Amino acid sequence: MKKIIYSLLFFCLLGNINAQQTPANKQTTAFSIEGATAHLGNGKVIENSLIIFNEGKITFVGSAMMKIARQGNIINAKGKHIYPGFIAANATLGLVEIDAVKASDDQREIGIMNPHIRSLIAYNAESKVVESMRPNGVLMAQVTPRGGTLSGTSSIVQLDAWNWEDASIKTDDAIHMNWPTSFTSGRWWLGEDPALKPDKNYSKNINKIISYFSDAKNYLAGDKSPKNLPFEATKGLFNGNTKLYLHASGEKEITDAITEMKKLGINNLVVVHGVGAENISEILVSNNVPVILDRPHRNPDSDDDAYDYTYTIAKILTDKGILVGLGMEGQMERMNSRNLPFYAGTFAAHGLDKEEAVKLITYNNAKILGIDSFVGTLEVGKDATLFISEGDALDMRTNIISKAFIQGRDVSLESHQTKLWKRYSNKYKSK
């Protein structure tokens, strides 16, 4: 019996040692950061800036040359850069810890139509992966479900919290739908032709979606008996309070998705992926539909695409007047979410203005996610969610974060990776 107790104590202690750091305490003293180059997130830059924040909110943004009293702790950031906290859109952070361990994988639910499934309650605030975001300036994320036709509902979190309730900064912001593709390929492993061919079931699949939303609309307009939770969850789509994220690529698919949803009275739309969106920009602009792009470090989807299509698409869409954000969906998306600023930097290296690239993961993502009233830019009255970098935060060589604040709280920049780096750096120094 004693052995069992000792074993349990050992594993409890081991778990405590390996747990995420304790979240930072609420801000109790003001901070004044002076001398840094401030990238406001709206395209503007202030050299030799002064940023003051207190009780979690920014109280002053301007030049350090102005005669204004500094408050609280004064941080000399001369030669450094200050940015709004970066926002990872369309990510599954906190929903999967280890891909090979099924019990830690909570990114999708069984079923096809799941608008009522809430990703937020599955969010693991103590994820080792989540804590590795902060050292690169990624301080917020849209936690998004996957799978099925209607995957479920996303929420937006800040990345230093005790639990999902503490983490949430916008609950149930959108429902996500995977639009069917008009082309299909054969299963080569069964000897079928792997070449792309028109999908004969494309129209049938669209009709299923239309039928589902029509039934939901009729249910909401009726006596709602018997109670239907999935239909109840779609209410915000029809009154405009909830956005519908259309995960779609291809000119035909995007056009069909927008057209059919508009017919149903669902007008608050966002296109995710958006391959081919540059060819139907008029439709997107006229319907005020933004696009969340995938990471640029991937191959073009079509043989007809330019070799650098995935690197230049942000500039192309921005020049056409489309509001563009940057999402994280793809291979190893949770781990790769820490590279969010470097993906934006890749767009900057291929034609997009540097401050426009910053906007992709600050103001633009905040605007698309509907949280721009309190985060996304360095402005008076907004949350003091920001960080100080030794250099250009979009360049992995100079993205060295010395301080980060979430809602004014001085958060830890330690992670499992930084601990290992320090450990083995000391090992080799001692020889």
- Name the residue type at position 191: G
State the residue for tokens 């030799």: 48
Which tokens sit at 294? 């995938």
Is the omega angle on the peptide bond into residue 226 within 30 degrees of 0, that is, cis?
A: yes
- Find the CATH number of the domain harbouring 292: 3.20.20.140
Q: Is residue 120 domain-resident?
A: yes
pLDDT the model gives residue 197: 87
List the domain range (segments joined by +) for residue 35.
21-84+376-431
pLDDT the model gives residue 196: 81
Q: Is the same domain home to 273 and 390? A: no
DSSP SS3 for 101: coil
Residue 140's Cα: distance from chain center in Å?
7
Widest pairwise Cα distance in the chain: 77
Nearest in space to 393 (alpha carbons), one of 39, 130, 51, 140? 39
Domain total for the chain? 2
Q: Is the same domain home to 225 and 291? A: yes
Q: Last residue of some domain: 373, 403, 421?
A: 373
Contact 120, 94 (CB under 8 A): no
Q: Is residue 66 domain-resident?
A: yes
Q: At what angle do helices 340-349 and 309-319 cross, to 10 degrees?
A: 80
Q: Last residue of some domain: 373, 394, 422?
A: 373
Q: Is the same domain home to 381 and 368? A: no
- Name the residue type at position 167: A
Q: Last residue of some domain: 373, 396, 423?
A: 373
State the residue for tokens 């009709």: 207
pLDDT the model gives residue 304: 84
Can you tell me the distance from the alpha carbon of 350 to that of 332, in angstroms, rounded to the nearest whole number? 24
- Find the CATH number of the domain harbouring 35: 2.30.40.10
Please provide the size of the chain in residues. Answer: 431
* Whole-prediction pTM: 0.92
DSSP 8-state secondary structure symbol assigned to residue 113: B
Q: Is the same domain home to 337 and 428? A: no
Q: Is the same domain home to 187 and 130? A: yes
DSSP 8-state secondary structure symbol assigned to residue 23: P
Element (H, E) at 252: helix 251-263
pLDDT the model gives residue 431: 56
Can you tell me the distance from the alpha carbon of 57 to that of 188, in angstroms, rounded to the nearest whole number? 56
Nearest in space to 93 (alpha carbons), one of 421, 255, 328, 295? 328
Q: Is the same domain home to 179 and 299? A: yes
Q: Is the same domain home to 220 and 258? A: yes
Q: Is residue 2 domain-resident?
A: no
Q: Is residue 101 domain-resident?
A: yes
Burial (CB < 10 A; 0-12, 13-18, 19+), residue 130, is: buried
Residues of the chain with pLDDT under 70: 1-20, 430-431
Q: Is the same domain home to 270 and 334? A: yes
Q: Is the same domain home to 300 and 283? A: yes
